[in-house]
Structure 1
Amino acid sequence: MKARHHTLGGLLRGLRARNGWTLKEMSERTQIPVSTLSKVEHDRLTLTYDKLLQLSQRLNIRMSELFADPAESGEAAVTARRSVGRMGDAVRVNTKNYDYYYLCPELRRKRMIPIHTRIRAKSVEEFGELVRHQGEEFIYVLEGAVEVLTEFYDAVVLHEGESIYIDSNMGHAYIAAEDCDEALVLAVCSSAEEGLLESLYSLHGDVEAVRPPAANARRRSARPLGKRATRRAR
């Protein structure tokens, strides 16, 4: 099937439809005759550079948008991916500081990693060295209270219903706040770069990631979760 070419006419038709304008209304806005606009929309006429400049200025759009090919525009294709996150399907990783439950594990090459996390460490000394990894992350406190430690800011305590968004490349740690034995948070880590999940797994060192039986069956032919790392588990 032959691909449909991107044209100036198609762009103008789309722009007019999105704004609910008639040809006459667009003509009044651009000061370009209705007959000219109609011919452009039907790909029977193109515009000179001066008219294109006039069009972009009067419609308040960039000149580059009049020439952009949708295939190169950076608009993401709709993948229709979907995954229901259930604790019983999560990949579980237990370390000395945290119990991680990686949700929606069947989706590969995710750029956003949702993690249900139980925080057990109660002091900086108990936690150890601050953690760093690619991307950014968002933490929402579900139960208890969490003390957030970062290398460039003073510590802050978050209670139930409170949240924080940080640059994950900055050294950081989460510990249970004073007078709180444990805390439960929902974490979402994201990155524009690929390999985020592998980067997170590598922080666990030699600690084994455990998949539920159903997930193991679905991934029997998949590669291992990741390489064993030399870092201490966080």
Structure 2
Amino acid sequence: MSTSTPTLGTLLRRLRDREGLTLKQMSAKSGIPVSTLSKVEHDRLTLTYDKLYQLSQRLGMRMSDLFAEPSETVPKVTARRSLGDIDQAVRVETPNYDYYYLCTELRRKRMVPVITKIRAKSVEQFGELAHHAGEEYVYVLKGKIIVATEFYDPVTLSEGQSIYIDSNMGHAYLTADGCDEAEVLGVMSSADEELMQSLLNLHKDQQQTSERGRATKAISAAAA
């Protein structure tokens, strides 16, 4: 039995075939160059969060649909697997964080693995505390972080230390004093099949918060 799983490029090609679009037509519809779409379909390039969001909006679909094959009955034993390669990860880049989502081609995952590079130094810089369904585990790979949560005092974690929390509780991950950037491995778990979409929506909110913060600073500087 084959255990291979489709890549983002394979899913994109199947989506284009399902819609009856040529590469040129999909490029015109999505606003993404033909050369970029071709490289993605041949697994030589991935798309950033901004491009994925642009593609989903132009095609009138949810971003989570870009990571899923058409719905089908899943047997109790799937024997499926996916190798996590950071070069093939779906990247989400923001001023305060870089997210690398792994194994995104698997549908109906109960766990979402992600490597995150953290640069936010305060809750004010982070913005509103994050809330989403399920639970999550974070392990510090490099640097030192502060974990701020809704119901507990902030806790500092160094390399090799980890934390497990209820994701419904407001939370934020920040760099500790003396650390400009930290890197962590996180695993989010939930029975909610829309977990991936919820996480992507959080990134959109973070980007908007960062943009408002930069605009406020610019206005203050101009008024000074």
- Which TM-score tier does this pair reach, normalised by the shorter chain? 0.5 to 0.7
Measured in 1, the distance between the counterparts of 2:175 and 2:80 equals: 35
Measured in 2, the distance between the counterparts of 1:127 and 1:157 equals: 16
Tell me if structure 1 keeps the 8 A contact 2:126–2:206. no
Structure 1: unaligned runs, 5 residues or longer: 1-75, 209-230
Shift of 1:96: 2.3
2:79 aligned partner, one-letter code: A
Q: What are the residue-to-residue correspondences of 1:110-149 with 2, within 5 Å?
A: 110-149=109-148
Deviations 1:78-110 (A, max 9, x none): 110100000111000011221000001111121
Which stretches of structure 1, 4 residues or longer, exceed 6 Å deviation after superposition?
Answer: none
Deviations 1:161-209 (A, max 9, x none): 000000000000000011100100000001012211011011111789x
Tell me if structure 2 keeps the 8 A contact 1:132–1:171. yes
Q: What are the residue-to-residue correspondences of 1:1-234 with 2, within 5 Å?
A: 77-205=76-204, 232=209
Larger Cα-atom Rg: 1
Measured in 1, the distance between the counterparts of 2:109 and 2:94 equals: 23
Shift of 1:233: 6.6
User: Which of the two has greater helix per residue?
Assistant: 2
Measured in 1, the distance between the counterparts of 2:205 and 2:127 equals: 16
Measured in 2, the distance between the counterparts of 1:199 and 1:141 equals: 23
Measured in 1, the distance between the counterparts of 2:126 and 2:195 equals: 22
Report the identity percentage. 64
What SS is found at the alignment partner of 1:113?
strand
Tell me if structure 2 keeps the 8 A contact 1:113–1:188. yes
Measured in 2, the distance between the counterparts of 1:192 and 1:233 equals: 30
Tell me if structure 1 keeps the 8 A contact 2:134–2:188. yes
Tell me if structure 1 keeps the 8 A contact 2:111–2:188. yes
Shift of 1:232: 3.8
2:102 aligned partner, one-letter code: L
Tell me if structure 2 keeps the 8 A contact 1:103–1:113. yes
Deviations 1:42-93 (A, max 9, x none): xxxxxxxxxxxxxxxxxxxxxxxxxxxxxxxxxx811101000001110000
2:138 aligned partner, one-letter code: I
2:194 aligned partner, one-letter code: G
CA RMSD of aligned residues (A): 2.0
Match of 1:11 in 2: none
TM-score w.r.t. the length of structure 1 is 0.56
Structure 2: unaligned runs, 5 residues or longer: 1-74, 212-224
- Residues 107/130 of structure 1: CA separation in 2 closer, same or farther (3 Å cut): same
What SS is found at the alignment partner of 2:99?
strand
Which stretch of structure 1 is more off in the superposition, 106-115 or 167-176?
A: 106-115
1:167 aligned partner, one-letter code: D
Match of 1:13 in 2: none
